[in-house]
Structure 1
Amino acid sequence: MTVEVPYRALPLDQSDVRYVHGPDSVVQADVPAGETVEFEWRDSSIYPGTSRKFWVHVPAMYDPREPAALMVFQDGWWYLDPEGEVRGGIVLDNLIHRGDIPVTIGVFVDPGVFEDAAAPHARKNRNVEYDAFDDCYATFLLHEIIPQVADRYLITEDPNRWGICGGSSGGNCAFTAAWFRPDKFRRVIGYLSSFVQMPGGNPYPELIPGSERKQLRVLLQAGHRDLRWNEPERNWLASNLRVAAALAEAGYDFRLVLGDGGHSPNHGGVLLPDALRWLWR
């Protein structure tokens, strides 16, 4: 089937571009709103001493007798905020109501903080959690966060209906969680992923083609004017392109969306409805 895309002129200035949200990112009068429940977690054994909030968004169409799909979002409130760029709860409500994606419970997890730390920079555990190349964050989700959700709501055990999404450091975190635990997470969205910040360097351009293909479906978004876009080192744009090329060479079910603008959640947020439709197609 041929899909016709309306003509749009390319912006001449690629740095200061803003994408407009579509109707799926806006509250619709005919769509019942889901319920959002706030949790707090202070007892982590994976990241001792941290505290964080997380939110569970339960769509109005959720039936406690029918297992729901699961979508985990990093940087929880940024991705849930109804007035922000991503608006995850609104998008889930609209797509589920129209039958575009299965009934999906959204889990929006903030990065950990050390509340007693004196220095502001020492409070945040975000980069430790998100940029690491290991299974710690996936284990954290599977052992500490998701069980609290599964105690209250019926979640499917089918890994093809478990997704994970994030941007910047949260983007490579999402990919790493799925890479180490494809038995659990098989649907991945990474926006402007900070692969360049991974300790020891970005392993994926060499690792992906040389490893047995995993059962993952991956959507990556990159920006023409992302951080250090024209620099020879720590180039965020180039690093994302290399990961996308590795996925292509290894035969993955993947999609790369390349947009204009800098290191902003705007483009990824606008893409979320279509990204979810593509993941769950």
Structure 2
Amino acid sequence: MTIELPYQPLPIDQSSVRYQHGPNSIQQQGVPVGTVVEFEWNHSTLYPGTSRKFWVHVPQQYCPGEPTSLMVFQDGWLYLDPEGEVRGGIVLDNLIHSGDIPVTISIFLNPGIFPESEQPKNRNTEYDAFDGRYVDFLLTEIIPQVTERYSVSEDPETWGICGGSSGGNCAFTAAWLRPDKFRRVIGFLPSFAQIPNGNPYPELIPNTTTKPLRIFMQAGHRDLHWNEPDRNWLSNNLRVTAALAEAGYDFRLVLGDGGHSPNHGGVLLPDALRWLWRWQPKQARPRGVLRMEPSCFVSRSELLGFLR
């Protein structure tokens, strides 16, 4: 099938490019709004002394007892803020309602801070390290607080992780080290360039048995140090995606004209989630079978899809 796209002229001046949000990043009339529950975590054993907040987005279509997919977003509030660049909750509501992605419980997790310290942020320590401490932190300290309250599938094919900048390479590392848990990855402008001791992935990927990952990445022509020989965010992202291509991974790279900003990634989030899941609920549901439970919300679009 050939898909024709409308012509869009390229900007000549790339010094300040901003992308406009599409309809899936805007609250739509008639779309059920999920519930956002706030949590606080001050008892970490893997990052002692840190404090952080996280938010759990529960779609209105969630049915207790029916396992859902799971997404974990780093830099939690930045990705959840309905007036920000990413607007994760709005995007999830729209895509779940339209049937483009499955019903998904999502965690929006802030990096840790040291409340009493002169250097309070623990973000780079958590996100940029090439080790398993952060993903272990997710699996042993954060996610259990969610799974004890909500029904989440244990199938790693239904678990995704997303982040931007240092949160992007953090998401990649979490899935790389634990593909038995996370198999779908979104990385916006990942900061591979500032991983301590250097970016290992261009050499590591082609020399490691292919992992069952699906990876969506976004890079920017004017990302940090884009035309410099050292710590070049653009070239490091291109090297990682080249290695993924040569190793036969299921990946997609979107290259934009912006700088190191969450704008382009935020605009791309609906398409990234659609591509990540490639969900086809109509084909998956046997025709003539509609199961309804008193505790479940069935949207108008789901009902119409069933009747077609």
Question: Equivalent residue of 2:245, what SS?
Answer: helix
Does 2:95 correspond to 1:95? yes
Report the counterpart of residue 233 of structure 1 in structure 2. 230
Is 1:243 the counterpart of 2:240 in the alignment? Answer: yes
Give the whole-Å Cα distance in 1 for the aligned partners of 2:103 and 2:66: 9
Compute the displacement of 1:225 (Å): 0.2
User: CA offsets per residue over residues 155-191 of structure 1, 9 Å max, x none?
Assistant: 0001011000000000000000000000000000000
- Mapped to 1, the partners of 2:240 and 2:173 lie a distance apart of 12
Return the letter of the residue paired with 1:66.
E
Q: How does 1:183-202 map to 2 (within 5 A)?
A: 183-202=180-199
1-structure distance, mates of 2:177, 2:46? 16
**Aligned partner of 2:131 among 114, 130, 134:** 134
Matched residue, 1:116:
116
Tell me what 1:166 maps to. Answer: 163
Match of 1:278 in 2: 275
1:99 Cα deviation from its structure 2 partner: 0.4
Name 1:48's counterpart in structure 2: 48
| 2:203 paired residue among 203, 206, 217 | 206
* Cα separation, 2, equivalents of 1:17 and 1:59: 33
Q: Which secondary structure state, in structure 1, belongs to the residue aligned with residue 271 of structure 2?
A: helix
Counterpart-to-counterpart distance in 1, 2:270 and 2:106:
14
Structure 1, gaps ≥5 residues long = none
Corresponding residue of 1:144: 141
- 2:30 maps to which residue? 30
Tell me how far 1:15 sits from its aligned partner.
2.1
- Structure 1 residues 63-95: Cα deviation after superposition (integer angstroms, max 9, x where no partner): 112100000000000000000000000000000
State the one-letter code of the partner of 1:221.
Q
Cα separation, 1, equivalents of 2:56 and 2:206:
36
Paired amino acid for 1:275: A
For the residues of structure 1 that align with 2:65 and 2:139, how far apart are their CA atoms? 22
> What amino acid maps onto 1:87 in structure 2?
R
Distance 2:199 2:220 in 1: 18
Partner residue of 2:250? 253
1:265 equivalent in alignment to 2:258: no
SS in 2 for 1:123: coil
CA distance in 2, matches of 1:58, 1:183: 24
Aligned-partner residue type, residue 165 of structure 1: C
What per-residue deviation string (whole Å, max 9, x for no partner) do you get for residues 178-225 of structure 1? 000000000000000000110000000000000000000000100000
| 2:75 is the alignment partner of 1:75 | yes
Partner of 1:60: 60
Count of equivalent residues: 278
- 2:170 is paired with a residue whose SS is helix
2:31 alignment partner AA: V
- Residue type of the partner of 1:231? E
Alpha-carbon shift at residue 100 of structure 1 (Å): 0.3
- TM-score, length of structure 1 as denominator length: 0.98
Partners of 1:12 and 1:106 in 2: CA distance: 38
Aligned position for 2:216: 219
